[in-house]
Chain A
């Protein structure tokens, strides 16, 4: 999420080559996404025509499943790798465009509730992960990374924190693998639990946004329940992402005070650098829609563009999840992550049920 600079010789040919490199992977994402849409329609139509009792499997799940099968059972050729890595761009594009489906009043109301819950969630998650990490005698900086990843926003938060607290590559790859593996599990467990509890769409969306760590998985977990739940999950997750700078800054100051990281001289600049800028884009689009800049049909078009961007993201979530690679990352960080995530999921579920009683979500 942090902005990056690169030193490169300005060579238009190289840039063209880089741009061409991503085309095969993007086509693969689009192909999987479109296949998922076709499967959703045709399987449901076939089941209906033959009077089968068959669960309605949405395109979101099909896209993830096709991606998982390709990534885990077949080897993805190298030519697709660069394009598959763009899934995070499609995620952010989808979120910014999703702003069209929220008028500012909704953002303020739901965002306000989300922010209040996010502050509680972050405090509890940091305390819990630190306690579990110490209990299992993990390395101190690995504990920090796992705590930040589970409290704020998964992989992006870990990457943002890695430089700030001067953690080593091994610790960050352990933490990222644990967060990704648990995010993949959440995709299947969260909707199932919510269905068994008969949660309403807003409550579930809030829970997915608060309980699932990585933004792509939180978006997919929300969309797996319903379209409306997906919208709320993105909003809650965005509120959580907005806190990234504050949490990473606190950890950077802590490790600097122990002489194990660089001192942060300009805190405001640090916060701005770490702030996820796509949130501003989301708010801007929502503001434009609130002031009736777009007609009803145009708002619908923007919403559909957002869905297409998410479709590519969901294909990417499946494709980049490789269980064999994750299993090689070490058991103890995974156990700490899993225990922490289960407890955080229970805590956030309790928070959302409580919020539902208080505010009637």
Chain B
């Protein structure tokens, strides 16, 4: 049972940087546009 003196084991999670997320999302959007999932995005 975790207590303040003996906390539960934590997992070191490497979170991605903002830059990396921006690149990933941009590439997903580019793929969606390339394969016509997203078509004629208006402005």
Q: Which residues of B contact A (CB under 8 A)?
A: 8, 10-23, 25-27, 29-30, 33-34, 38-43
- Find residues 8-45 in chain A having any chain B CB closer than 8 Å to their own CB: 8-10
Known: A6-B13, A10-B13, A301-B39. A293 touches B34 (CB 8 A): yes
Query: Are A8 and B19 within 8 A (Cβ)?
Result: no
Chain B residue contacts of A7, Cβ below 8 A:
10, 12-13
From A5, A92, A285, residue with most partner B Cβ within 10 Å: A92
Query: Are A9 and B40 within 8 A (Cβ)?
Result: no
Distance A61 CA – B23 CA, assembled complex (angstroms): 27
Query: Are A281 and B33 within 8 A (Cβ)?
Result: no
Query: Are A96 and B13 within 8 A (Cβ)?
Result: no
- Of all chain A residues, which has the CB nearest B29? A305
- Of all chain B residues, which has the CB nearest A5? B14
Chain A residue contacts of B26, Cβ below 8 A:
93, 96-97, 281, 285
Report the tally of A-B residue pairs with Cβ distances under 8 A. 93
Chain B residue contacts of A6, Cβ below 8 A:
13, 15
A124 within 8 A of B: no
Q: B2 → chain A, closest Cβ, in Å?
A: 10
Chain A residue contacts of B41, Cβ below 8 A:
300-302, 304-305, 308
A297 within 8 A of B: yes
Distance A294 CA – B16 CA, assembled complex (angstroms): 28
Chain A residue contacts of B34, Cβ below 8 A:
293-294, 298
Query: Are A277 and B23 within 8 A (Cβ)?
Result: yes
Q: Which residues of A contact B (CB under 8 A)?
A: 1-10, 88-89, 92-93, 95-97, 100, 276-278, 280-281, 284-285, 288, 293-294, 297-298, 300-302, 304-305, 307-308
Contact of A301 among B10, B14, B19, B33 (CB under 8 A): B33
Chain A residue contacts of B42, Cβ below 8 A:
304
Query: Are A302 and B12 within 8 A (Cβ)?
Result: no
Between-chain CB contacts (< 8 Å), 24 pairs: A3-B17, A5-B13, A7-B10, A8-B13, A9-B8, A9-B11, A88-B18, A92-B22, A93-B22, A95-B22, A96-B23, A97-B29, A277-B17, A277-B20, A281-B26, A284-B23, A284-B27, A285-B26, A285-B27, A294-B33, A298-B33, A298-B34, A307-B43, A308-B43
Known: A5-B15, A9-B11, A304-B42. A278 touches B29 (CB 8 A): no
Query: Are B22 and A278 within 8 A (Cβ)?
Result: yes
Contact of B10 among A4, A9, A89 (CB under 8 A): A9
